[in-house]
Chain A
Amino acid sequence: MPLTAYLILAALVFAIGLFGVLTRRNAVGILLGIELMLNAVNINLVAFARFRADIGGLVFTMLTIAITVAEVAVGLAIVIAIFRVRRTIEADHLDLLRG
């Protein structure tokens, strides 16, 4: 399969993730969208590493996955903390920063 196929797949995954982030009202759903976007990036990195025969892309992907895990842990912890205080995780209702 040519490189373009991998890139199109990554673009599709990224678009789905972005769509989820923009349309989901639930904070957990938004976090899931973000995960999709990050993994689209990972697909890109792995694809380029494979086709360019550059080990750097694989190493970078491992790093990204590790950071993603940490990010999810922190993100979910924040969502739980918000739920404890506000009794909701609907993004529309969390507008304390409105000007």
Chain B
Amino acid sequence: MHVGSPALALLVLGLPAASFLLIGVIAPLRRSGRAAAALSVAAIGGALAAAVTMWQSARLPLDGPPPNPSATWSWIPGDGGPMATVGVMVDDLALPMCVLVTFISFLVQVYSYAYLHDEPRPSLGRYYAYQSLFAFSMLGLVLAPGFLQMFVFWELVGVCSYLLIGFWYDRPSAARAAVKAFWITKLGDLGFVAGIVMLWAATGTFDFWTLYGLADSGVLAAVPNLTTIMFLIYLGAVGKSAQFPLHVWLPDAMEGPTPVSALIHAATMVTAGVYMVARAFPLFALTPDVLRLICWIGAFTALLAATMACVETDIKRVLAYSTVSQLGYMMAASGAGDYHASFGHLLTHGVFKALLFLGAGVVIHVFHTNDMFRMGGLFARRPWTGVAFLVGTLALAGIPPFPGFFSKEAILAAVLNGGFRLPFLMLAVTSLLTAFYMFRAVFLVFFGRAHGHAEGHGVPLAMDGVCRLLAAVTVVYGVTLALGGHHGEAPGWLPWVSMLLAAAGIALAWATYQRDIIAPSRLAAALGPIDFMARRRYGLDIVYAGLYRIVLLGLSRTIGWIDRYVVDGVLNVFSAAALRAGDTLRRLQTGQPQDYVYGVAFGVLLLLVWAHLVSP
């Protein structure tokens, strides 16, 4: 196992944090916009350099027991050692992930400057403050050496997601989507935090390294409710990584600016759940039931999201559904027991999905619409954008030698080797659908008749350059994977089947949306019920809305009724009684002095009689 330098890791963490604090605290810097952008980009660029250095300089001790890759400091002191620690854990998972996060963050921040050029300056400053905070939080999550620190950063990235989805907060739809994303992920986080606390109660530690040791020595397997604990922890990943049934927030999250979608809702934050499962894999390995559930849910999510992507007309939402679908792939591989395959797909997907989103940003910039049916013929006008987008599409569809092919094949092999036949079938169908919906988008946007009336204004160099760079990285990455070879556990027929499915999907899309051999309406009619349900998102949004109305509003109304009529009622009875008594007593005061004298005389008489009775 590689072990990276903790000092470099702290530098990677510290640069975006410093940038966030500076932009956040110094108001003139934030209002200037341009300076804030420069500072933020410089900080993330430095973090990228530090991350790459850390990756390259990581030691690989050959002999002896594996060294502890985490450096921790006491956080919450307790009897006999700290109760919780903070620190950094720089191992084989964190190293490439740090490079991915800083790399994509850097490119997205550069791209954003051109994309958000028309924003008011203070808004731009605010945007870069959020971006820096996000980079810091995501890196903190990746480097976290324990569950508690991971949870803190987990929530921080959730906050950043909320802030950035709602960046254009004056749009009601964006504000609504931000709140929806925040609350739906909170549903999963409830399980996550409960699981962490239960795990701590059972073992007395949050640290991954200690937990790995406990898992190895069999102490953890003796914990009676470990299955429940791991299931609860998995719930956090369900929310964050948009697994069924909590995936509904991700498509709505596309209300944010496109670079944000590329960074947070495609490449980095949504993969936090997958990363967490990989991080805690030695623990999950002890609970086969939970792993089976992860695999099934993952495969089902992949298929469900792919069908919805096929009927979507908004280009960003297509990509959002494909992200959900690919996250399902990753989770399925983790559930099948091969988290290396899952993590590999996480890395490749991070690169090419960011490319696709940033390409979509260029497309939206040109056409001024998200509706694919109002675009067309872009390839002839902007061939390089087309090539970049096509590279991403081929990678996502799983065509060699693009990286998606290798990582996806590893996942299919893992699921098949794990003995999950039905999930494997679901994933295979998904890979056909993936090729179909992605090429549907390509044909609608880049080829075919030009429906749109795209204005001839150019695309800023920063946007174009970033897309081309990412496309080049994707190709190089794929070629590296192809040359590097892959572990040959898969049956020999798998790559051919995988390619055949992708080719079939592409052919179907070509025939339907390019050549008009098959009318889309007839295709929809042939798949009647699925088409009907997919267009309505399988009614899940309605179910959530209904649950919200019935459960939450119902509960609120009941509590409101109790407050109004029971709690207030009791108090009203008391106050009415006091008023009534006061009104009665008022009549004693007649205002006639002689009545009072009567009272005094009568009282004296009574006292005399009493004195006489007591002491005769």
Interface size on B, residues (CB 8 A): 13
User: Closest CB of chain B to A88's CB: distance in Å?
Assistant: 14
In the complex, B26 has a CB within 8 A of chain A: no
Chain A residue nearest to B598 in the complex (CB):
A22
Chain B residue nearest to A98 in the complex (CB):
B591
Chain A residue nearest to B589 in the complex (CB):
A99
Contact A99 B591 (CB under 8 A): yes
In the complex, A21 has a CB within 8 A of chain B: yes
Which residues of chain A come closer than 8 Å to B588, judged between CB atoms?
Answer: 99
- Report the Cα distance A6→B597, complex, angstroms: 26
User: Closest CB of chain B to A21's CB: distance in Å?
Assistant: 6
Contact B598 A99 (CB under 8 A): no
- Report the Cα distance A59→B601, complex, angstroms: 28
Which residues of chain A come closer than 8 Å to B585, judged between CB atoms?
Answer: 99
Contact B587 A99 (CB under 8 A): yes
- Report the Cα distance A21→B594, complex, angstroms: 7
Which residues of chain B come closer than 8 Å to A18, judged between CB atoms?
Answer: 601
In the complex, B77 has a CB within 8 A of chain A: no
Q: Which stretch of A43-51, A61-69, A89-97 is in the interface?
A: A89-97
Chain B residue nearest to A24 in the complex (CB):
B594
User: Closest CB of chain B to A99's CB: distance in Å?
Assistant: 3
Interface string of A1-44 (1 = CB under 8 A from B): 00000000000000000100110000000100000000000000
- Report the Cα distance A22→B596, complex, angstroms: 10
Q: How many CB-defined contacts (below 8 Å) exist between A and B?
A: 32
- Report the Cα distance A21→B585, complex, angstroms: 25
Which residues of chain A come closer than 8 Å to B598, judged between CB atoms?
Answer: 22
* Given A21-B597, A22-B598, A99 and B586 contact (CB-CB distance below 8 Å): yes
- Report the Cα distance A18→B602, complex, angstroms: 12
Chain A residue nearest to B590 in the complex (CB):
A98
Contact A95 B591 (CB under 8 A): yes
- Report the Cα distance A95→B585, complex, angstroms: 17
User: Closest CB of chain B to A11's CB: distance in Å?
Assistant: 12
Chain B residue nearest to A95 in the complex (CB):
B591
CB contact list, B564-616 vs A, under 8 A: 585-594, 597-598, 601
CB contact list, B29-86 vs A, under 8 A: none
User: Closest CB of chain A to B342's CB: distance in Å?
Assistant: 84
Which residues of chain A come closer than 8 Å to B594, judged between CB atoms?
Answer: 21-22, 30, 91
Q: Which of B585, B590, B593, B601 has the most CB of A within 10 A?
A: B593
- Report the Cα distance A21→B599, complex, angstroms: 13
Contact A22 B597 (CB under 8 A): yes
Which residues of chain B come closer than 8 Å to A97, judged between CB atoms?
Answer: 589, 591
Q: Which of B588, B590, B592 has the most CB of A within 10 A?
A: B592
User: Closest CB of chain B to A32's CB: distance in Å?
Assistant: 14
A to B CB contacts below 8 Å, 23 in the list: A18-B601, A21-B594, A22-B594, A22-B598, A22-B601, A30-B593, A30-B594, A91-B592, A91-B593, A91-B594, A92-B592, A94-B591, A94-B593, A95-B590, A96-B591, A97-B589, A98-B589, A98-B591, A98-B592, A99-B585, A99-B587, A99-B590, A99-B591
Q: List 7 A-B pairs, minimum CB-CB distance, nearest first.
A: A98-B591, A99-B589, A95-B591, A99-B586, A97-B591, A98-B590, A21-B597
Given A22-B594, A91-B594, A96-B591, 7 more A-B residue pairs with CB atoms under 8 Å apart are: A22-B601, A97-B589, A97-B591, A98-B589, A99-B586, A99-B589, A99-B590
